[in-house]
Amino acid sequence: MLDRYWFGEVNRISPEAPVPVVRVQRREERLGGASNVALNVAALGVTTSLLGVIGEDEAGDAIEAMLKKSGITSYLSRDREISTIIKLRVIGRQQQLIRIDFEERPTAHVLSDKLNRYNALLTTCDVVVLSDYAKGGLVNVAAMISGATAAGKLILVDPKGSDFSRYRGASLLTPNKSELRQIVGEWDSEAELTEKAQAMRTDLGLQGLLLTRSEEGMTLYTEAAVTHVPTMAREVFDVSGAGDTVIATMAVMMAQGMSMEQSVVIANRAAGIVVGKLGTATVSQQELFPAQ
């Protein structure tokens, strides 16, 4: 995805409708979606490659250029029949006023080619991160997890939708509260939440389930323990992309041999830093480990 930001001043209400008029003064483009996850991984000094689908268009060119600048190896497939996904955010006086999405689902033949490339690339990586945004790029996610499992890889998944069974066998799943609630239903207590989360983790054959809970921090459920870490955000400026930072940081720490319990403490710290920034953002090694 390509994240576009239009920044401007708001000094009046439109005479045509009761909406603010934004006089655009500055424009920015940033990597979004799975490319933001890759950018977060690369920002922590890890060799990173990205597999996905973009259109044969100017927005796709922009993504490729930013990936190259960030040192991320691109294995993006071009689909001539669709346009690259764009999220356009209009911001006035540091407040997001509207988001406009442009998106189309990839075609079947491009997705088939992408799966073949994915299987060929598995031997080149240590950790696989699958970021599902329900845009059609991960229709083969069950086969992707099966292939990575057979190759002995760590598999982290940021899930989406009402069917988590397709993520069966992953090492770690990182849903937020609303995503988990859609699967297991409501809970009235922490004990009931733990029971439901652990039941789902066991049913799906996951090593870990990491629940991101906004202002409540994060809770990691494993067979051995339940680990809760409170939020470290001093000031929340923008939560967009925070989940990308969490899964990226978990992937990097686990790739370096840390346990899930150790990794979640650092991922929580990273999330606390990134929500203090505007828009999709990353955390550097210096920010995460200032004493080093």
Render 19-35 in DSSP notation, one character per residue: SEEEEEEEEEEEE-THH
Q: Which residues of 55-67 are buried (b: 16+ CB within 10 A; e: fewer)?
A: bebebbebbbebb
Tokens of 209: 């389930």
Tokens of 259: 């346990």
Catalytic residue flag (residue 244): yes
CA 161 – CA 175 distance, rounded (Å): 10
Q: Give, in order, the Cα–Cα distances in Å from 287 to each of 69, 81, 236, 246, 270.
A: 21, 41, 17, 15, 8
Neighbours of 96 (CB within 10 A): 14
Alpha helices by DSSP H, 50-158: 58-69, 108-121, 141-150
**Catalytic residue selected from 3, 79, 132, 244:** 244
- Please list the active-site residues: 244
